[in-house]
């Protein structure tokens, strides 16, 4: 079965083809960040209009790349939610209209399920059950995954997502938005011993996290250093602050993941979402895994951010829920725990 996957929940348009026998066939992504890069990395626009412009050319590009035609597609999976209503509506309408025209079924996919299952697109692929650490700009959650559609949230951020903390701290340090990846790069040559920032909720009994207070801590540190250095931060101080910040985030994420593994007795940890690409986080988790004897899995780097491949794949996992394209709706808010098990 050849499944076309369409993702348009936020500011990236992703389209992919997944074959249930041959795996991922093609995937194309349009990120509005890249579009703006030449103008100095402006905030990505969230306009649904941009998804409208991109989705059909991306679909054509996927098909052309592997010499297939629309008529070869057996089913269409699309992100029905959660996300921005207008953005979701684009992928949802295109998926349903195409499927109606082709007389093939559609599969509504939950965006986070796409992320959760994306490590299954890599080799080696983890077996169920596993613990999932989902860390991105919009989400930070620890989840027990017993099978496709069997998800239990064990803990999550009470305020800012980890990726959001990265981007906002980068802004406080004068880096261009979204500056998370730049911050990580600077942190690599920063001194981890020079500054220490608080680790909110590090030792709380539960698996919840909080990252909003880190902004204030960084702000205070920046002002203090600026005062000492007569108004401007020198390059090394900026790097050292980046490092201190990254140390704090990584320690919280690692410690909470270890606690969750212990509580659930699970031996496999799957890391998904954009922050899952962070090198220091990966190094710390790999180290902990070697010490504590558990396995850790990451999706391929290209699939860490929002993409169509994970939607096509999740759709292929949910083929039994495929239905004829008829009336459609989007679910800007959608509880992951409400999904039916496969």
Partner 1 sequence: MDSYDTSQSHLPDEAATLALAGRFARALSPGLVIHLHGDLGAGKTTFTRGLLAGLGWHGKVKSPTYTLVESYPLAPFTLHHFDLYRFADPEEWEEAGFREYFGQETVCLVEWPDKAQGLLPPADLILALEVAEQGRHYRFTALTEAGKTCLTRHSTQTAADC
Binding residues vs partner 1 (CB under 8 A): 10, 36, 42-49, 84-86, 137-138, 156-161, 164, 168, 171-172, 212-213, 215-216, 218-219, 223
* Nearest distance in Å: CB 152, partner 1: 17
Measured from the CB of residue 303, what is the shortest distance to partner 1 in angstroms?
Answer: 19
Nearer to partner 1, 44 or 114 (CB): 44
> Is 111 marked within a binding site?
yes
Strands 12-19 and 75-81: unpaired
Query: For residue 146, with 0-12 CB atoms within 10 Å meaning exposed, 13-18 middle and 19 or more buried, which class applies?
Result: middle
Q: Which helix (H) or strand (E) holds 295?
A: strand 295-297
147 is in an annotated binding site: no
Angstrom distances, CA of residue 239 to CA of 121, 197, 279? 35, 14, 16
- Whole-number minimum distance, CB 45 to partner 1, in Å? 5
Residue whose pair of structure tokens reads 């992703």 in the numeric block? 14
Sheet with 150-156: strands ordered across: 150-156, 140-147, 130-135, 268-272, 295-297
Contact 273, 115 (CB under 8 A): yes
Cβ-based nearer residue to partner 1, 82 or 126: 82
Tell whether 83 is in a known binding site. no
Sheet holding 75-81, edge to edge: 23-31, 12-19, 2-7, 75-81, 105-110, 323-324
306 is in an annotated binding site: yes
> Cβ of residue 109: shortest distance to partner 1, in angstroms?
19
Q: Specify whether the CB–CB gap between 141 and 272 falls below 8 A.
A: no
| Residue with Cβ nearer partner 1 (204 or 287) | 204
Q: In terms of CB distance, is 129 or 213 closer to partner 1? A: 213
Q: Please say whether the beta carbons of 334 and 81 come within 8 A.
A: yes
Tell whether 307 is in a known binding site. Answer: no
Query: Is 137 assigned to a binding site?
Result: yes
Rounded least distance, CB 199 to partner 1, Å = 17
Residues in binding site for Fe cation: 111, 115, 306
Residues in binding site for substrate: 134-138, 167, 180, 278
Residues in binding site: 111, 115, 134-138, 167, 180, 278, 306
């Amino acid at each position: 079965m050849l499944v076309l996957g369409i993702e348009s929940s936020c500011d990236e348009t992703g389209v992919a083809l997944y074959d249930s026998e041959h795996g991922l066939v093609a995937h194309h992504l349009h990120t509005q960040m890249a579009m703006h890069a030449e103008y100095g990395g402006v905030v990505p626009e969230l306009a649904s209009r941009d998804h409208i412009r991109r989705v059909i050319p991306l679909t054509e590009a996927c098909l052309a790349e592997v010499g297939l035609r629309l008529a070869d597609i057996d089913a269409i999976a699309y992100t029905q939610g959660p996300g921005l209503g207008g953005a979701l509506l684009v992928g949802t309408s295109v998926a349903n209209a195409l499927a109606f025209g082709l007389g093939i079924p559609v599969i509504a996919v939950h965006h986070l399920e796409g992320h959760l299952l994306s490590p299954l697109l890599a080799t080696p692929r983890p077996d169920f059950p596993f613990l999932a650490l989902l860390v991105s700009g919009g989400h930070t959650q620890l989840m027990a995954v017993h099978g496709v559609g069997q998800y239990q949230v064990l803990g999550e951020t009470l305020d800012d997502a980890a990726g959001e903390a990265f981007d906002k701290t980068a802004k406080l340090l004068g880096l261009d938005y979204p500056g998370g990846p730049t911050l990580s790069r600077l942190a690599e040559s920063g001194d981890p011993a020079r500054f220490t920032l608080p680790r909110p909720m590090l030792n709380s009994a539960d698996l919840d996290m909080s990252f909003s207070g880190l902004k204030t801590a960084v702000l205070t540190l920046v002002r203090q250093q600026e005062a000492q250095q007569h108004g401007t931060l020198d390059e090394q101080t900026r790097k050292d602050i980046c490092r201190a910040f990254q140390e704090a985030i990584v320690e919280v994420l690692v410690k909470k993941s270890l606690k969750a593994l212990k509580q659930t007795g699970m031996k496999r940890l799957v890391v998904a979402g954009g922050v899952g690409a962070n090198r220091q986080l990966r190094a710390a988790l790999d180290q902990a895994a070697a010490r504590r004897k558990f396995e850790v899995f990451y999706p391929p780097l290209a699939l860490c951010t929002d993409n169509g491949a994970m939607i096509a794949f999740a759709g292929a996992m949910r083929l039994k829920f495929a239905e004829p394209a008829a009336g459609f709706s989007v679910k800007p808010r959608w509880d992951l725990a409400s999904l039916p098990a496969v």
